[in-house]
Amino acid sequence: MMGQLFSWSVFTDNDVKESNTLISAVSPEKVKEIMTELLQSLSTQNEFVGRHNGPNSADQQKMLATVNAPSLDALIDQTVPAQIRLEAPMTLAPAKSEADMLAAMKHFANQNQVKRTFIGQGYYNTFTPNVILRNVLENPGWYTAYTPYQPEISQGRLEALLNFQQMVMDLTGMDIANASLLDEATAAAEAMTLCKRAGKSKSNTFFVADDVHPQTIEVIKTRAKFIGFEVVIGAIDTLTDMDVFGALLQYPTTSGEVRDLTDIIANAQANKTLVAVASDLLASTLLKPAGEMGADVVIGSAQRFGVPMGYGGPHAAFMATRDKHKRTMPGRVIGVSIDANGNQALRMAMQTREQHIRREKATSNICTAQALLANMASFYAVYHGAKGLRTIARRTHHMTAILAAGLTKSGFELANNSFFDTITINTGAQTETLYNQAQQADLNLRKLPNQLGISLDETTTQADIAALFEVFGVDQEISTLSNEIAGNEFAAIPEACRRTSDYLTHPVFNTHHSETQMMRYLKQLENKDFSLTHGMIPLGSCTMKLNAAAEMIPITWPEFGAIHPFAPSEQAAGYAALAIDLKQKLCEITGYDEFSLQPNSGASGEYAGLIAIQRYHESRGEGHRNVCLIPSSAHGTNPATASMVSMKVVVVKCDDNGNIDLGDLADKIDKHRDNLSSIMITYPSTHGVYEQQVKEVCEMVHAAGGQVYLDGANMNAQVGLTSPGFIGSDVSHLNLHKTFCIPHGGGGPGMGPIGVKSHLAPFLPGHIENGVQGSDFAVSAADLGSASILPISWAYIAMMGAPGLTDATKVAILNANYVMERLRPHFPVLYRGNNGRVAHECIIDIRPLKEATGISEEDIAKRLMDYGFHAPTMSFPVAGTLMVEPTESEDLQELDRFCDAMIAIRQEMDQVKDGVWPLDNNPLVNAPHTQVDLASDDWSRPYSRELGCFPSSATKRWKYWPTVNRVDNVYGDRNLICSCPSIDSYEDK
Ligand SMILES: Cc1ncc(COP(=O)(O)O)c(C=O)c1O
């Protein structure tokens, strides 16, 4: 082992934990002894830090001169309040080179065992079409984009998401669908709250059929408890007698049964009960869809449409509902609108419903969703088309029918005779033996009390059936069984449940079936979108930093992708080891004592964190504490989440500098002392400054018996310098899709693990299957949430090491201060902290400039597109402002390109003010400009084509083109269309 320390690949073949222990056990003196100075200087171990951080040391010196700081450390001392600075550096294993990190990751991967899996329960094997794997999942053009808030530069993924909605609507038989939720279980919980909002029943009880997937029931129970609903779980036939506001049924059921729900739904609706049905997209190609049976809401997972199981996620869940409920549907909805030239253009519809605006009144707290996975699922449908999907479904069903026939002919009894892809066998006393025999044959079955479940999927082969027959001692010819079934292929699907309606008839699902066509379609859409492959995305609060290729590589390894979340735990030993190690790293970085990796987004982490707080209060007999203090500057998900756990939101004012107003805080604490549950703060604040008095805030809340939730979205400005635990908070979520390099995927996936101090550790979410924290209070469908993307954050931390991570924070602060100082002579900077410094982002105030010039923050955002940039965050946290976060990954050249563009835009604004161009016809209000504008015969504008389209020298060298003009949001909401427009409607224009 020691000998390896002399090689470049320090950790190659060894257990990473051993390696970590080894290297941390080795004293610095020993390292010095075994790694000579020359060896160290030639080593690749620290190379990644320089790849991740943008400015090199020479550029850093230039930038420090601009910000007038003698050194980087001096800048940090001037910026970060001394009282919150960590006293000692973090202790993490030394940085690994890319090669060593991948070798260590392989070691985790090798501990997972990929077996043939037939567990089902909402997760299935699937073939990711390679054209989608390579061009989407492994392509930064798709995975590094942001949520499509700026539609003019997002038409590609907006189209893919609109396709997703259309696919869901078609397959479920519903009127409208959203563009993804976090997982099937949380989608079910969202369906429950939709039923309450949209329904007329006065009941406070929600019914869940006992044949719904168990993990879904658990998430519903958690949601219901904290929102104050009763949950009744019972046999589906008992629904008729119930007085409930809503019901959740599963179709096909968790045990595979297919039954007609039409009468059950109609009877429930006659009692003012809204009915949600958890459904399966592949089954819906053969089965009468739940929408045609009268369901009010249909939810489910799109995982089996080409997205690997990944030990639980990430996958896109879907929700579809009736047109009349569209305005109360949670999540993002993509709609069709028009642009400034009257051409069709897509956008996120009904944005007014977002938590940013409606805060505690929002329909849900969902912000980051599962855009990348929804895109993959929609492309799977585009590639296969209706015919291809039907063939896949028929093959899956036929294999299941063969299996069922073989088993029953050999004397086994099935729990249900109707099925699509899942059968449950009444194995009684033989259950354990048969299960173990299957395990010995490397086959994972679903073990139930006295029963075994088997779910087949598109990957099932005749060899699989033969292996299963062997386990059950079935001596039947597959071909004979197949021939027998052929005469009545769908005999196992009740007549009333067979699909007769068409689906996926839109041309997009009937065009791109050859690989060439598909590759071109994917590329065409990709080319419409601005991503990190084009340039900086300076979105404040979003941290659009590098998502390095080495970090992304492991996520498509089958050892991570092909593991079922409920596989026997010994088969997921690699995941367990990775999770333990990642949690330890995150504890060290945050100063917390324990972590849960379960939440699938930041907002979901907030929810899990507030539940931990409420359970803690309850455990101390203080369950009445229900007031949550939230500063006015907080992200909208904070109040939206607080209301999901029935907390009363009390807003705390911020002073003129953007800091929490301590006087107001003291008053609010006094007023609500007896009922104070918690405060939710963000640090550094969303105003982009390190508040001096943050420790005092924590102390004041603690003194009144409250708990502190620190929103960790801005952790990028803390790592290595301070930490939430050190500051004094009790619980935080981290947005791994910000600070820890999980890409944003064009609007998801995300990961929002929560860290807690030890007193809250017993209240972290549990899970009914393989839960490390017990079995109750689950917030996600799988215990490790979106497990398959955890390697990204692990890889980042492993390659940076403690000094590298700390450097990244320092450089993020340097970059933000550099941009701030360059822009300050031209734009008012709204808030600055200590010594006039900002943290990792800064807010520039457009309101006075708008007053003077008539040009708005939106005009600037759109004009930036002409200059080849994504806009900064618009009007958050303060309306009429732009919040810029460059991150550490942008280099000086790119920062300058951005600052130059902003300054040029400022000069353009002056020209409008000076009357050079009219207010309604100038390069800013007409932005963005397209290639069609450039080539048009009709250029009746008071500025040149060159200025409009190539406003900077950089754009003359290389140019990203928006594909539509400014999108009309109001038109889109007034004329809400959330399905694929017909091809004619494109051609007409
Ligand atoms: C400060 C803050 N808190 C919470 C969130 C919510 O995180 P997510 O989008 O992952 O749900 C965000 C997301 O932008 C944020 O900026």
Q: What is the pLDDT of residues 201-249, one digit of tens each?
A: 999 999 999 999 999 999 999 999 999 999 999 999 999 989 999 999 9
pLDDT at 625 over 60: yes
- The two tokens of residue 860 are 């600037």
Give nearest CA residue, ligand 1 atom 5: 602
- The two tokens of residue 316 are 């896109």
What's the CA-to-centroid distance between 354 and ligand 1, angstroms?
12
| Mean pLDDT score, 899-912 | 98
Q: Which of 903, 614, 886, 887 lies closest to 765 in space, CA to CA? A: 614
pLDDT at 21 over 50: no
Beta strands 205-209 and 230-234, pairing class: parallel
Q: What is the pLDDT of residues 806-844, one digit of tens each?
A: 999 999 999 999 999 999 999 999 999 989 999 999 999
pLDDT at 35 over 70: yes
Specify whether the CB–CB gap between 870 and 530 falls below 8 A.
yes
Q: Phi/psi of residue 455, each to 5°?
A: -115, 130
Q: Decide: 601 in ligand 1 pocket, CB within 6 A.
A: yes
Specify whether the CB–CB gap between 300 and 153 falls below 8 A.
no
pLDDT at 956 over 80: yes
Q: Give the model's confidence band at 363: pLDDT under 50 very low, under 70 low, under 90 confident, else very high.
A: confident
pLDDT at 86 over 70: yes
SS3 (DSSP) at 684: coil
| Mean pLDDT score, 8-12 | 34
| Side-chain half-sphere exposure of 723, counting CA atoms within 13 A | 25
The whole-number pLDDT of residue 656 equals 84
Q: Decide: 360 in ligand 1 pocket, CB within 6 A.
A: no
| Mean pLDDT score, 393-397 | 98
Q: Give the model's confidence band at 24: pLDDT under 50 very low, under 70 low, under 90 confident, else very high.
A: very low
Q: Give the model's confidence band at 14: pLDDT under 50 very low, under 70 low, under 90 confident, else very high.
A: very low
In 10 A of CB 973, how many CB atoms?
Answer: 17
What's the CA-to-centroid distance between 28 and ligand 1, angstroms?
39
Q: Decide: 736 in ligand 1 pocket, CB within 6 A.
A: no
| Mean pLDDT score, 390-414 | 98
Q: What percent of the chain has pLDDT over 70?
A: 95
The whole-number pLDDT of residue 972 equals 87
State the Rg of the chain over Cα: 28
| Mean pLDDT score, 943-947 | 98
The whole-number pLDDT of residue 981 equals 84
> CA dihedral in degrees (333, 217, 116, 427; nearest 10)?
-150
Q: In the 8-state DSSP scheme, what is residue 621?
A: T
pLDDT at 984 over 90: no
**Exposed / middle / buried, residue 530 (Cβ in 10 Å: 0-12, 13-18, 19+):** buried
Cite the residue boundaries of each domain of the chain with CATH code 3.90.1150.10: 800-974
Specify whether the CB–CB gap between 566 and 313 falls below 8 A.
no
What's the CA-to-centroid distance between 299 and ligand 1, angstroms?
24
| Side-chain half-sphere exposure of 710, counting CA atoms within 13 A | 28
The whole-number pLDDT of residue 806 equals 98
Q: Which of 351, 342, 416, 382 lies closest to 988 in space, CA to CA? A: 342
Q: Decide: 747 in ligand 1 pocket, CB within 6 A.
A: no
Strand ranges (E), 855-900: 873-874, 881-884
The whole-number pLDDT of residue 2 equals 32
Q: Please list the residues that pair with 649 across neighbouring strands.
A: 628
Q: Backbone dihedral region of 541: left (phi > 0), alpha (psi from -120 to 50 degrees) or beta?
A: left
Q: What is the pLDDT of residues 714-745, one digit of tens each?
A: 999 999 999 999 999 999 999 999 999 999 99
Cis omega (within 30 of 0) for bond into 214:
no
pLDDT at 3 over 60: no
What's the CA-to-centroid distance between 601 and ligand 1, angstroms?
8
Q: What is the pLDDT of residues 677-713, one digit of tens each?
A: 999 999 999 889 899 999 999 999 999 999 999 999 9
Q: Decide: 710 in ligand 1 pocket, CB within 6 A.
A: no
- Measured from the CA of 682, which atom of ligand 1 is nearest? 1
Cite the residue boundaries of each domain of the chain with CATH code 3.40.640.10: 116-533, 558-794
| Mean pLDDT score, 452-459 | 98
The whole-number pLDDT of residue 559 equals 98
Mean pLDDT of the chain: 94
What secondary structure does DSSP assign to 146-204, as a single string? PPSSSGGGBHHHHHHHHHHHHHHHHHHT-SEE-S-BS-HHHHHHHHHHHHHHH------
| Mean pLDDT score, 933-958 | 96
Q: Backbone dihedral region of 350: left (phi > 0), alpha (psi from -120 to 50 degrees) or beta?
A: left
The whole-number pLDDT of residue 360 equals 82
Pocket test for ligand 1, best of 181, 537, 735 (most atoms within 8 A of CB): 735
- The two tokens of residue 896 are 């300058």
pLDDT at 611 over 80: yes
pLDDT at 869 over 60: yes
What's the CA-to-centroid distance between 493 and ligand 1, angstroms?
44
Fold observed for domain 800-974: Aspartate Aminotransferase, domain 1 (3.90.1150)
What's the CA-to-centroid distance between 646 and ligand 1, angstroms?
20
Q: Phi/psi of residue 447, each to 5°?
A: -95, 125
Q: What is the pLDDT of residues 512-538, one digit of tens each?
A: 999 999 999 999 999 999 999 999 999
Cis omega (within 30 of 0) for bond into 951:
no
- The three-point CA angle 803-805-806 to 5° equals 65
The whole-number pLDDT of residue 989 equals 42
- The two tokens of residue 79 are 């910026």
Q: Decide: 69 in ligand 1 pocket, CB within 6 A.
A: no
- Measured from the CA of 606, which atom of ligand 1 is nearest? 4
Q: Decide: 178 in ligand 1 pocket, CB within 6 A.
A: no
Q: Decide: 752 in ligand 1 pocket, CB within 6 A.
A: yes
pLDDT at 5 over 50: no
| Mean pLDDT score, 950-960 | 96
What's the CA-to-centroid distance between 602 and ligand 1, angstroms?
5
Q: Which class is domain 116-533? A: alpha beta
Q: What is the pLDDT of residues 557-578, one digit of tens each?
A: 999 999 999 999 999 999 999 9
| CA–CA dist 777, 619 (Å, integer) | 14
- Choosing among 3.30.70.100, 1.10.620.20, 3.40.190.10, 3.40.640.10, the CATH entry for 558-794 is 3.40.640.10
Q: Decide: 608 in ligand 1 pocket, CB within 6 A.
A: no
| CA–CA dist 288, 68 (Å, integer) | 69
Q: What is the pLDDT of residues 306-341, one digit of tens each?
A: 999 999 999 999 999 999 999 899 999 999 999 999
Q: Decide: 809 in ligand 1 pocket, CB within 6 A.
A: no
In 10 A of CB 642, how many CB atoms?
Answer: 29
Place of tokens 């669908």: 177
The whole-number pLDDT of residue 7 equals 33
Q: Give the model's confidence band at 28: pLDDT under 50 very low, under 70 low, under 90 confident, else very high.
A: low
Specify whether the CB–CB gap between 636 and 617 falls below 8 A.
no
pLDDT at 108 over 60: yes
| Mean pLDDT score, 375-399 | 98
